[in-house]
Structure 1
Amino acid sequence: MPTHQVTPPLDSLVLYKNKPARVAALGDKIDIELAGGQTKRVRPKDIELLHPGPLRQIADLVPLDGELTAAWELLEGTETTLRELAELAFDAYTPASAWAVWQQVAEGLAFVGTPSAIQVRSREIVERERAEREAKAAADQAWRALLERLAAARPAPDDAPHLGEIERLAVGQSDQSRILAALGHAQTPESAHRALIQIGHWPEHHNPHPRRCGAPLVDLDLPIPDLATETRLDLTHLSAYAIDDEGNQDPDDALSLDGERLWIHVADVGALVRPESDLECEARARGANLYLPEGVINMLPGAVTAQLGLGLQEISPALSFAVCCDSEGAIRDVEIHRTWVRVTRLSYDTVEQRLHEAPFATLRAITDRYRARRFALGASRLDLPDVSVRVTAGQVCIRPLPRLVSRELVADAMLMAGEAVARLCSEHAIPIPFASQPPPDSSDDSADLASMYARRRGFKPTRLVLEPERHAGLGLDYYTRATSPLRRYSDLLVHQQLRAWLDGTPLLERTQVLERIGEAEQSSIAVRRGERLSNQHWKLVYLKDNPNWTGEGVVVALEERRAVLLIPELALETRLRVRDGVTLNQTLKLGVNDVDLPELSVSFRVLG
Structure 2
Amino acid sequence: MATDQATPPLDSLVLYKVKPARVIALGDKIEIELEGGETKRVRPKDITLLHPGPVRSFAELAPLQGELDAAWELLEGSETTLRDLAELIFNDYTPASAWATWQRVAEGLAFVGTPDAIQIRPRAVVEREQAERAAKESAERDWRSFLERMQQARLLPEDRVRLAEVERLALGLSEHSRILEALGYPETPEGAHRALIRVGHWPERYNPYPTRCGVAQGDPDLPVPGLGDEERLDLTGLAAYAIDDEGTQDPDDALSIEGDRLWVHVADVAALVSSDSPIEREARARGANLYLPEGIINMLPAPVTEHLGLGLQPISPALSFAIRCDPKGMLQDIEVHRSWVRVTRLSYAEVEGRLDDASFADLRALTERYRARRFAQGASQLNLPEVSLRLDGEGRIQIRPLPPLMSRELVTDAMLMAGEAAARFCLERAIPIPFAVQPPPDNNDPAQDLASMYAKRRSFKPTRLVLEPDRHAGLGIELYTRATSPLRRYSDLLVHQQIRAWLLGRPLLEPTQVLERIAEAELAAANVRRCERLANQHWKLIYLKEHPNWRGEGVVVGLEERRAIMLVPELALEARVRLREGTTLNQSVRLAVNEVDLPDLNVSFRPLS
State the distance in 2 between where 1:353 and 1:579 align.
44
2:346 paired with 1:336: no
Any gaps of 5 or more consecutive residues in structure 1? none
Match of 2:522 in 1: 521
Relative to structure 2, which stretch is displaced further, 569-578 or 291-300? Answer: 569-578
In structure 1, what is the Cα distance between the partners aligned to 2:33 and 2:445?
87
Q: Which amino acid aligns with 1:576?
A: V
- Give identity over the alignment, percent: 68
| Distance verdict in 2 for CA 1:517–1:53, change over 3 Å | same
Normalised TM-score (structure 1): 0.91
Whole-angstrom CA distance in 2 between matches of 1:119 and 1:535: 68
The aligned counterpart of 2:363 is: 363
Q: What SS is found at the alignment partner of 1:157?
A: coil
Is the contact between residue 31 and residue 39 of structure 1 (CA under 8 Å) also seen in structure 2?
Answer: no
Q: Judge conservation of contact 1:481–1:490 (CA < 8 Å) in 2.
A: yes
For 2:541 and 2:410, how far apart are their aligned partners in 1?
A: 33
Note the 1:557-568 alignment, pairs <5 A. 557-568=558-569
Q: Report the residue type matching 1:590 in the other structure.
A: L
Specify the alignment match of 2:466 in structure 1: 465
Q: Which residue of 2 aligns with 1:316?
A: 316
| Offset of residue 103 of structure 1 | 2.2
Output the TM-score relative to the length of structure 2.
0.91
Aligned to 2:380: 380
Distance 1:333 1:245 in 2: 31
* 3-state SS in 1 of match to 2:431: coil
Q: CA deviation at 1:90?
A: 4.8
What amino acid does structure 1 have at the position aligned with 2:297?
Answer: I
What does the per-residue CA deviation read over 1:70-108, in whole Å, with 9 as the maximum and x for residues that have no partner?
Answer: 544444443221233334445554555434432221111
Deviation, structure 1 residue 430: 0.5
- The residue that corresponds to 1:245 in the other structure is 245
Give the secondary structure class of the aligned counterpart of 2:15. strand
| Deviation of 1:250 (Å) | 0.9
Structure 1 residue identity aligned to 2:197: I
Q: Does 1:267 align with 2:257?
A: no
Do structure 1's residue 182 and structure 2's residue 186 form an aligned pair?
A: no
CA contact (8 A) 1:61 1:99 kept: no
Equivalent position amino acid for 1:280 in 2: E
Provide the C-alpha distance between the structure 2 equivalents of 1:11 and 1:560, rounded to a whole number of angstroms: 70
Q: Which residue of 2 aligns with 1:400?
A: 401
Q: How far did 1:367 drift?
A: 1.7
CA deviation after TM superposition for structure 1 residue 452, in Å: 2.1
Which residue number in structure 2 is paired with residue 549 of structure 1?
Answer: 550
Q: Give the 3-state SS of the residue equivalent to 1:197 in structure 2.
A: helix
Q: Is the 8 A contact 1:7 1:44 kept in 2?
A: no
Q: Which amino acid aligns with 1:522?
A: L
Residue 419 of structure 1: how far off its partner (Å):
0.7
Q: C-alpha separation between the residues in 2 aligned to 1:123 and 1:223?
A: 66
Per mean C-alpha deviation after superposition, the further-off stretch among 271-280 and 56-65 is 56-65
Structure 2 equivalent of residue 596 of structure 1: 597
Equivalents in 1 of 2:285, 2:14: separation in Å?
71
Structure 1 position 484, deviation (Å): 0.7
Which residue of 2 is the match for residue 414 of structure 1? 415
How far residue 26 of structure 1 moved from its aligned partner, in angstroms, is: 6.3
Q: 1:548 to 1:92 in 2, by over 3 A?
A: same
- The one-character-per-residue Cα deviations of 1:236-268 (angstroms, maximum 9, x if unpaired) are 232222111111111111122333332211111
Farther-moved stretch of structure 1 (441-450 vs 345-354):
441-450
SS for the counterpart of 1:575 is: strand
Partner-residue secondary structure (3-state), 1:380: coil
How big is the shift at 1:429? 0.5
CA distance in 2, matches of 1:557, 1:365: 37
The whole-number CA distance in structure 1 between the counterparts of 2:515 and 2:130 is 63
> What's the counterpart of residue 534 of structure 1?
535
In structure 1, what is the Cα distance between the partners aligned to 2:556 and 2:21? 76
Report what 1:134 is aligned to. Answer: 134
Q: 2: distance between equivalents of 1:474 and 1:38?
A: 83
Q: Is the contact made by 1:381 and 1:445 (CA closer than 8 Å) also made in structure 2?
A: no
Larger displacement relative to structure 2 (405-414 or 9-18): 9-18
Match of 1:346 in 2: 346
Alignment-derived partner of residue 231 in structure 1: 231
CA distance in structure 1 between the partners assigned to 2:110 and 2:162 by the alignment: 35
Contact kept in structure 1, 2:3 and 2:50, CA below 8 Å: no
Q: Which amino acid aligns with 1:102?
A: W
Per the alignment, do residues 346 and 137 of structure 1 end up closer, same or farther by CA in structure 2, a change over 3 Å counting?
same
Give the SS at the match of 2:163. helix
- Aligned CA-pair RMSD: 2.7
CA distance, structure 2, for counterparts of residue 457 and residue 593 of structure 1: 27
Q: Distance in 1 between matches of 2:124 and 2:593?
A: 69
Provide Cα deviations, 1:148-173, integer angstroms capped at 9, x if missing partner. Answer: 12111122333334323223333333
Task: Report the Cα distance in structure 2 between the residues aligned to 1:27 and 1:381, rounded to whole angstroms.
Answer: 90
Using the TM superposition, give the Cα deviation of residue 426 of structure 1 relative to its aligned residue in structure 2, in angstroms: 0.3
Contact 1:5 1:48 in 2 (8 A): no
Would you say 1:493 and 2:491 are equivalent positions? Answer: no
Deviates most, 194-203 or 137-146? 137-146
1: CA distance between counterparts of 2:505 and 2:49? 97
CA shift, 1:497, in A, is 0.8
| AA of the residue aligned to 1:588 | V
**Equivalent AA in structure 1 for residue 436 of structure 2:** A
Three-state SS of the structure 2 residue aligned to 1:317 is strand
Distance change (3 Å), C-alpha of 1:582 and 1:56: closer
